[in-house]
Each structure stands twice: as C-alpha cells, then as structure tokens.
C-alpha cells in the first residue's frame, strides 16, 4: 500500500502503543502536526517548552513502554538534549522526532534559519549521536526501514533514538507494508541461553543464601512479574536499589529493603554482601545509588542484563532477560519452604501528634506514609523530595518515579504530565522542591488545561536544600526568589479551578489531606531551609568529599547543613 512518510510514521507510533505525542510546533514540523491533526491520532499534547516536553515523553514512556516527542530543527532539538540524555541514562525508550530543514535547502546549499548559517551540515545530528542509541534522517528511499529500525531499537534497548524528518519529506508518498509493527525481542541464542541457564540453576542449587538485587532495568525490560514469580518460586529475598524502589512489592515477606551500601541496615548489608549467590538485574555501580561507593557486591554475583549475562568469567551475549527468567522459573524446582519475612514487620507508626510549629521534613513524610494508598503513582523530584520518598514504605501496586542517576532538577513536573496521560485512572502524587519547581513551573499549565488532577506537594524552603547539604549552607547562590506559588498555580488557567493550600504546620497539613478533593490539589509546604532528610545530608556529605576532595571547602565548619540538629533526632 502507499502512504505518505508522515502518515506512516504516525501509524507506526500508534501501532506500538503511543497514544500521545508531546512537543512544540515549529515551521519545520508543522506539516507532520497537520498530518496528526488530520488523522486524529496519536493525540498532540502541546507543551510550554521543549525540555518540558522531553520530560513528559520520558514519564509517559516509563509507564506506557514507549514515548515520543516532536520538535523543530536546532532551536527545538537542542532544547531537549538534557531530557533525551536523561532518558539514555535512565534507560527510557523515547523517540525524538525532529522536523528538520527541507532537503532541498541542503541540496541547493541554501542557508536556513534555526541553523548555524555557515554552510556546515549535520552538526545537531552529530550532537544527538552522543545522547541517543540510534539516529536517522529520513528519505523516501530509507523511511520505511529506518522508522521501524528506530522504533525497534528504542524499545529493545530501552534507550532514546533521534529521527530527523526533513520538512519537505512528510508529504511524500512511498510504498509501505500493510502489516502492523509488533514489538518483540529477538530470540536468544538457544545454546548460550541453555548453558547460561544451567550455570545459574547450578549456582542457585548450591547456594545457602541466594538473593535478588534489582536495578532500573528490571522495570524497563518489563520483567517485574517474572521476578516476582521467580522470587516466590524459590523463596528468594529481593532488594532493590534506589532507582528501582517499588519494583518489588514492599509488602511482600520476601522484600528485603533498598540496598544502598553503608546506608543500608546491617541485616540488609549482610544479606547482600555475604550472599553466595547474588543475582542482580542491570546493576550499575553509581555514586548516587551505591551509598557513594560504600556498597560491597560479592565478586561472584551473577549479573543479568537486558540481552546478556555475566557469571564469573563467562559472558553470555544474546541471552534475553525475559526468556532467561522464564527458563529459570521452569528449570528450578520450587522451594516448598516459605521463608519467614525478611524484614521486621513495618508497624505503621501512628501519626505523630499534630503540631502548630513549622512543619518539619520528618513530620511531612510521616504524614505521607499514612496518606499514600495501594495503586498510587508517586513522582519525586531530586532533592529532599526523593530522599523523603525513599524512606516511605510503599503500599502494593504503587509506583515511585525518580531520576536516581541523571538527577535533573525540574524533571518531575514534566514527567508528571506524561505519567498522568499514560495512566489517567491512577491517583498520582508529586513531591517537588521550590528550586526544582522554578525550572519547569509553566508545565503545570498543561496539566491543568488537560483537566488532570494530581496532588502536588511543593516544598518551599527558599532554595536548593540539596546543594546546601553539599556546600553553601547559608550562601546566597543557593537561595532563590520567593514566589507566591499558589497564586502562580491559579494564574495558569482562566477556566479550570485548582485547589490551592499553603501549609505551615502538621495540623494544617492534616486538614488538607484528610478532606475530600475534586480538582487538582496544589499544596505549598513552608519548611526551614536547613531541614532535610538525614539520609540526604549524609549522602551529600559523602558526595562533596568526592566532588571537591577530602580537604575541600565543604570541610570548613558551617559550610554544609549538618545533622547536629534537633530536627533529625
């Protein structure tokens, strides 16, 4: 059959489950946007700016399995580099489509706006090669092959890709296949799969204290159900890293906690560090998720990756994670003995007495522990928000989204737009600090205009408290302008009502969260600039020692938020 390149691209995206596409119009992509408006699908979600669009596409992809955005050449594309690189770092499959300058201008040597206008070509394409897994510029000759290749690469590798559609190509008609595109992994090399599986089964059978440790790829490669099955089948304790918190049910008796090196409980450290058969999924040893390199993973740990496995000296390529886990479940005899719960049962402390003094981080997160429910989707910004959320004991079927490695402040608000559209039926809650909010604040307007209704808890502590724990506790560079946040939130719409609250005490917080609400709930929490979760303070002190060296400026007394404070006891 025959179809225009633009229509075929949009059709393919629809076939692989992309129901919303984010971005900003620009002259080089208007043709494609017009094709989308004419088709009626996927739905165009116009953002306030491109970076926010890339965050939204990332959040959408984390829940939906794939996300996409459309930008214009140069000015648009380069504005999403941070967001796309974040998707790369965090293993999120996002398809970045750039409506690029017309092919005729390249062929004729015409200098166009939104370029360097110096005769050079492909500069931005090359820049994107540094932050994406695959790139292509579409032509009538390659479009069909390349569109499928890029979508499949993004999905199979769980990494972003970059696709340029020259503005004069979208309406060109080409011969395209009628069959839809199905997302599938390749089959493993069966011989290697078999050998690899045997090795793991043998190790497990001879192990006296096996355990599983999940990093982000467990979620990204869609194997959480298989992991739950395997864990139950063998009664394996399961720990996660910070980035995969919530990927194994925290109410399960097999849940062992969030492993973070020296910051973990002694029991969890022992379980991981002395396991004679630790199997990890996608483990990466990064400062921010390893307790700043205080972890101690056994040298004989078995490392499962998306498409390969490392066991001792052996490396098995072309062994795909899902297929491997299925085989492991089939080939290991079930462990009939039910383990005792790994962790002491978490006793939900009764909410602390409501106070009329300034709300503390500790009080706030205690309240949140009671507020969150099974099925909730939580998004936590990098900073006191992610550190506080890391301390929550999550209910069943809840999801926590953070950027545990990339850590781009402002990400969470854009991300929330994406997760809201991907899972509109779920209750969604954002935790964000004022400093982070200021980077991407305008995207709240897109959330409001689509009548989406999350809870947003904005921690107003007058600046970048995560930095204050690193360096500059009382420095001006860590302060920000003091906005009227609730008035700002209301100003983003002339028609939609949003419910706003300013909360200064736990009593006021209780009043807000114990009342029913029907719209978007925006809560400004006024807190002390030097109040931060203890875990954050400790982590930032360790990072400062790496960042600036042991004798660096952070070692001067008073240079950092410290934990010698009543608040943290």
* Closer of 111 and 187 to a copy of itself (Cβ): 111
Q: Could you check whether the bond before residue 481 is cis, i.e. omega within 30 degrees of 0?
A: no
Contact 129, 65 (CB under 8 A): no
H or E segment and range at residue 22: strand 20-23
Catalytic residue among 31, 50, 295, 376: 50
Do the Cβ atoms of 410 and 436 come closer than 8 Å?
yes
In the complex with a copy of itself, the residue whose CB is nearer, 165 or 230, is 165
**Residue 299 C-beta: closest distance to a copy of itself, Å:** 16
Q: What is the spatial distance between Cα 468 and Cα 54, in angstroms, rounded to a whole number?
A: 28
Identified catalytic residue from 31, 250, 467, 531: 467
- Identify the CA nearest to 157 among candidates 61, 15, 22, 60: 61
Task: Please state, in angstroms and rounded to a whole number, the distance separating the CA atoms of residues 467 and 382.
Answer: 11
Beta bridge partners of 173: 4
Q: Is 313 an annotated catalytic residue?
A: no
Active site residue 113: yes
Contact yes or no for 276/210 (Cβ under 8 A):
yes
C-beta atoms surrounding 549 within 10 Å:
11
Give 84 or 372: the residue with its C-beta nearer to a copy of itself. 84
CA-to-CA distance for 81 and 567, rounded, in angstroms?
A: 39
Which lies closer to a copy of itself via its Cβ, residue 398 or residue 436? Answer: 436
Three-state DSSP class for residue 456: strand
Active site residue 461: yes
SS (H, E, C) 65-92: CCEEEEEECCCCHHHHHHHHHHHHHCCC
434 included as an active-site residue: yes
410 tagged catalytic? no
Active site residue 90: no
Could you give the CA distance from residue 504 to residue 385 in angstroms, rounded to a whole number? 17
| H/E run at residue 59 | helix 50-64
Kindly tell me which of 191 and 547 has the beta carbon lying closer to a copy of itself.
547
Q: How far is the CB of 367 from a copy of itself (least distance, A)?
A: 26
Residue tagged active-site, from 219, 295, 376, 434: 434
Active-site residue, from 17, 222, 407, 552:
407
Q: Which is nearer to a copy of itself, 27 or 276 (CB)?
A: 27
Q: Do 68 and 22 contact (CB within 8 A), yes or no?
A: yes
Please state the closest distance from residue 500 (CB atom) to a copy of itself, in A: 11
In the bound complex, what is the minimum distance in angstroms from residue 133's beta carbon to a copy of itself? 11
**148/528 with CB nearer a copy of itself:** 528
CB of 370 to a copy of itself, least distance (A): 31
Is residue 305 part of the annotated active site? The answer reads: no
For residue 490, the minimal CB distance to a copy of itself (Å) is: 7
Active-site annotation holder among 305, 463, 524, 531? 463
Give the SS3 label for residue 378. strand
Q: How far apart are CA 219 and CA 286, in angstroms?
A: 18
**Cα 110 to Cα 94: distance, rounded to the nearest angstrom:** 31
Smallest separation (angstroms) from a copy of itself to the CB of 306: 13
Which residue is catalytic, options 38, 46, 113, 300? 113
Q: Facing residues of 456 across strands?
A: 430, 522
Comparing CB distances to a copy of itself, the nearer of 43 and 331 is: 43
Is residue 407 part of the annotated active site? The answer reads yes
337: DSSP letter: S
CB of 206 to a copy of itself, least distance (A): 31
Q: Is 217 a catalytic residue?
A: no
Cβ density class 407-437: b for 16+ within 10 Å, e for less: bbbbbbbbbbbbbbbbbeebbbbbbbbbbbb
Active site residues: 27, 50, 113-114, 407, 434, 461, 463, 467
């Amino acid at each position: 059959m025959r179809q225009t390149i633009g229509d075929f691209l949009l059709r393919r995206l629809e076939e692989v489950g992309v129901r919303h596409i984010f971005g900003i119009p620009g002259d080089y992509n208007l043709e494609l946007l017009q094709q989308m408006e004419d088709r009626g699908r996927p739905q165009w979600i116009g953002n306030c700016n491109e970076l926010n669009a890339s965050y939204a596409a990332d959040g959408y992809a984390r829940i939906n399995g794939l996300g996409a955005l459309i930008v214009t050449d140069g000015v648009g594309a380069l504005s999403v580099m941070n967001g796309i690189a974040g998707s790369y770092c965090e293993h999120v499959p996002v398809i970045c489509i750039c409506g690029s300058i017309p092919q005729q201008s390249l062929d004729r040597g015409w200098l166009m706006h939104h370029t360097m206008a110096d005769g050079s070509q492909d500069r931005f394409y090359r820049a994107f090669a540094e932050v994406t897994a695959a790139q292509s510029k579409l032509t009538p000759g390659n479009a069909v092959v390349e569109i499928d290749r890029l979508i499949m690469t993004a999905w199979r590798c769980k990494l972003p890709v970059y696709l340029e559609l020259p503005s004069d190509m979208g309406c060109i008609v080409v011969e395209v296949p009628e069959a839809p595109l199905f997302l599938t992994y390749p089959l493993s090399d069966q011989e290697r799969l078999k050998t690899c599986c045997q090795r793991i089964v043998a190790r497990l059978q001879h192990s006296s204290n096996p355990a599983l440790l999940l990093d982000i790829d467990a979620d990204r490669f869609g194997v959480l159900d298989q992991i739950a099955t395997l864990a139950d089948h063998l009664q394996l304790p399961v720990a996660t890293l910070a980035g995969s918190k919530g990927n194994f049910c925290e109410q399960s008796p097999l849940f062992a906690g969030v492993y973070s090196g020296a910051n973990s409980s002694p029991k969890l450290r022992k379980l991981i560090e002395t396991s004679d058969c630790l199997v990890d999924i996608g483990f990466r040893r990064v400062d921010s998720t390893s307790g700043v390199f205080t972890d101690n993973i056994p040298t004989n740990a078995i490392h499962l990756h998306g498409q390969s496995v490392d066991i001792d000296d052996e490396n098995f390529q072309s062994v795909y994670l899902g297929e491997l886990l299925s085989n492991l479940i089939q080939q290991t005899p079930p462990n009939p003995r039910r383990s005792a719960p790994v962790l002491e049962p978490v006793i939900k402390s009764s909410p602390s007495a409501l106070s009329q003094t300034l709300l503390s981080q500790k009080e706030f997160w205690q309240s949140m522990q009671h507020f969150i429910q099974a099925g909730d989707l939580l998004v936590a910004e990098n900073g006191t928000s992610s550190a506080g959320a890391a301390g929550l004991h999550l209910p069943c079927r809840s999801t926590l989204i953070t950027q545990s490695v990339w850590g781009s402040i402002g990400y969470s608000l854009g991300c929330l737009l994406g997760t809201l559209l991907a899972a509109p039926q779920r209750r969604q809650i954002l935790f964000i600090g004022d400093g982070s909010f200021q980077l991407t604040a305008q995207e709240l307007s897109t959330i409001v205009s689509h009548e989406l209704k999350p809870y947003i808890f904005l921690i107003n502590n007058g600046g970048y408290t995560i930095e204050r724990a690193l360096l500059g506790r009382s420095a001006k560079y860590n302060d920000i302008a003091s906005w009227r946040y609730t008035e700002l939130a209301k100003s983003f719409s002339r028609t939609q009502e949003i419910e706003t609250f300013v909360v200064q005490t736990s009593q006021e917080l209780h009043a807000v969260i114990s009342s029913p609400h029907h719209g978007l709930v925006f809560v400004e929490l006024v807190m002390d600039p030097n109040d931060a979760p203890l875990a954050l303070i400790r982590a930032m002190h360790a990072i400062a020692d790496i960042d600036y060296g042991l004798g660096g400026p952070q070692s001067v007394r008073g240079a950092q938020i410290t934990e010698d404070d009543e608040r943290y006891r």
